Structure 1
Amino acid sequence: MKALVLKRYGGSGQIEFADVARPVIKPDEILVQVHAVGLNPIDYMIPKGDFKPILKFQLPATMGSDLAGVVVEVGTRVRRFKVGDAVFASIFDLGGGSLAEFAAVPEHAAALKPANLDFVQAASIPMVGLTSWQAFHERARIKPGQKVFVPAGAGGIGSFAIQLAKHLGAKVGTTTSTGNVDLVRGLGADEVVDYKKQEFEKVLRGYDAVLGTLRGNELEKALAIVKPESTIVSLIGPPDAAFARARGMNFLMRFVLGLLSRKIIRLAKARHATYSFLFVRPDGGQLAKIGELLETSRIRPVIDKVVPFSQAKEGLAYLEQGRAKGKVVVQLVGA
């Protein structure tokens, strides 16, 4: 089968199409014919080696994490799915990749595709949906009436996180460029800061939670807008010692990550806030609950561009430019 494969670390130049063996599934896995794959920033960061110390990634490896497709084979212990089921899933950090004609998916990572979504729409959801769900339900424990700051609201994660926070009853603040103000307001954002005209840390105040999605010093700036007992959940780092312990890393890695996160933890404590680093985990049960929200149209997919499988590398390059309004999706079947 054809797959987009990372040969070695060193950037996008090390990614190429290759013929690889069709996956042989384990008893607790399903084999999915992949119809579409949603791209995420992690997909262009991995080839650079940014996550080499913490990811279970054996090279050469098939790229991609999110997928939607049809089950063509089920393992002997699989009970929730049958051949012919339309499913969607994230297989991030599970040892395999989704940018291929077929993918092995652990049963626990998959959910039935929402009936009202096509495969492209469904493939845009898993990682951004699970990330937002785990950040807001498990870490920040968002309650109705609280204020949540989601920077870069027009992006893939931002466009979903705004909608989920609103569903949870929160008031949402975000940043975006001038041309995307109407888009993020349409998704439910209450306070919108045009970063081309204003600095958000000088405008916003009294926030209960921050979803860290931007690199650089943006996370430190966000500390200026939170109130005591607030929660900062970062998706881009720095990783902390708690993350290292959860991953079973050795003492040296726990020490190193503790040093890396020491400054932001100290600054958060000075604001009587808590900081944690979130590394999303695949979870079919959570994805099924997200699917229910999608089926009732309480949350909708936001897709910027759909590219055929042959242009997957171009799709990754476009996403890396940071200008996508919503998700970039690769279509393998029906393009």
Structure 2
Amino acid sequence: MKAAVITQYGQVRDVVRVADAPVPAVGPQDVLIEVRAAGVNPVDHLIVKGFMSADALAGPVVIGNELAGVVSKVGAEVTRFAVGDEVFSRVDPRVGGAFAEYAAVDQSLVAAKPAALTFEEAASLPLVALTALQALTEQSDVRAGTRVLIHGAAGGVGSAAVQIAKTLGAEIVATASADTVDLVRELGADRVIDYRAEKFDEVVSDVDVVLDTIGGETQERSFGVLKTGGTLVSTIPIADAEAKKARWNVEARSFFMHPDGEQLAHLAGLVEAGQLRPIVEMVFPLDEAAAALQKVERGGARGKTVIAVRA
């Protein structure tokens, strides 16, 4: 099969190549998915650079962390899916393998693809939507009346978080660039701040939850807008977290999402109900996987970048 692989860590342009790779073996709990499309995320180029592992590579590794496709084979103990099912998945991060024509995924990490979505749209959702859902419901407790500030609200995680927070009944304040303000408002934000025109910490206060996908100065300034007892949840590590929690009398948590097929099925239900829609910015063919990764590496996304594995 054709796949995007690395044999060593390094810069995307130097180490990512598309090559022949063996079709993965199918374990008893696995479904073999004929991949139609795969989503691209910042974690992918960090993996390529070796930031996520201290171990040297023993051989070629197929990269990629989320996909949509059609089940082509099932393991002996699989009960949830059958050959021909259209599915999507955030794959096991220890395994990867989404940027390929076939991927073997444990059935517990797979859900039925929403019928309303194309494969490209479905492939763009698992990682970012699961991150958003877990940030709002596991790392914090967003519910009706909760005041939430979402940074980077036009990006992959941010755009999903705005929509999911809306389903939870939250009051949503969001930061975005001027050219995406209308999009973020359309997704459900009650107030959208153009971060280049206004400093959010000068116009926002008494927030229950901040979802930070930016880090750096944005993360630092976010502590000052939280209520006493509020929670900052970040996908970026928080330096001196304990000291900041004590200073501001708040909770501060950084986390990395975990794949979960049941949660993914819940998100599929939101899609079917018209409460969650993917935002796909650009689609690359598999042969241009390195270019897709470099696009994400540059940042400034309006939604997601996707690789079309099969036409």
TM over 0.5: yes
2:40 is the alignment partner of 1:39: yes
Match of 1:276 in 2: 253
Distance in 2 between residues matched to 1:275 and 1:329, nearest whole Å: 32
Match of 2:124 in 1: 124
The aligned amino acid for 2:16 is I
2:288 is the alignment partner of 1:316: no
Instruction: Write out per-residue CA displacement over residues 181-234 of structure 1, whole angstroms, 9 at most, x where no aligned residue.
Output: 111111111121111111111111111111121132321110011001111111
Gap runs ≥5 in structure 1: 239-260
Match of 1:252 in 2: none
Whether the 8 Å CA contact 2:208–2:226 is kept in 1: the answer is yes
Match of 2:264 in 1: 287
How far the C-alpha of 1:312 sits from its partner, in A, is 1.7
Whether the 8 Å CA contact 1:309–1:331 is kept in 2: the answer is yes
Cα RMSD (Å) of the superposition?
Answer: 1.6
Please give the residue correspondences for 1:193-204 in structure 2 after superposition, counting only pairs within 5 Å.
Answer: 193-204=193-204
* Identical pairs, percent: 39
Match of 1:254 in 2: none
Q: How many residues align?
A: 310
2:159 is the alignment partner of 1:182: no
Match of 2:148 in 1: 148
How far the C-alpha of 1:59 sits from its partner, in A, is 5.0
Distance in 1 between residues matched to 2:167 and 2:59, nearest whole Å: 40
Distance in 1 between residues matched to 2:109 and 2:86, nearest whole Å: 14
Instruction: Write out per-residue CA displacement over residues 69-117 of structure 1, whole angstroms, 9 at most, x where no aligned residue.
Output: 0000000110000000000000141313100000011010000001111
Moved over 4 A (4+): 55-59
Please give the residue correspondences for 1:1-335 in structure 2 after superposition, counting only pairs within 5 Å.
Answer: 1-12=1-12, 13-53=14-54, 60-238=60-238, 261=239, 263-334=240-311
Secondary structure of 1:139's counterpart equals: coil
Distance in 2 between residues matched to 1:87 and 1:198, nearest whole Å: 42
Distance in 2 between residues matched to 1:197 and 1:228, nearest whole Å: 27
Match of 1:257 in 2: none
Gap runs ≥5 in structure 2: none
How far the C-alpha of 1:318 sits from its partner, in A, is 1.2
Distance in 2 between residues matched to 1:325 and 1:56, nearest whole Å: 34
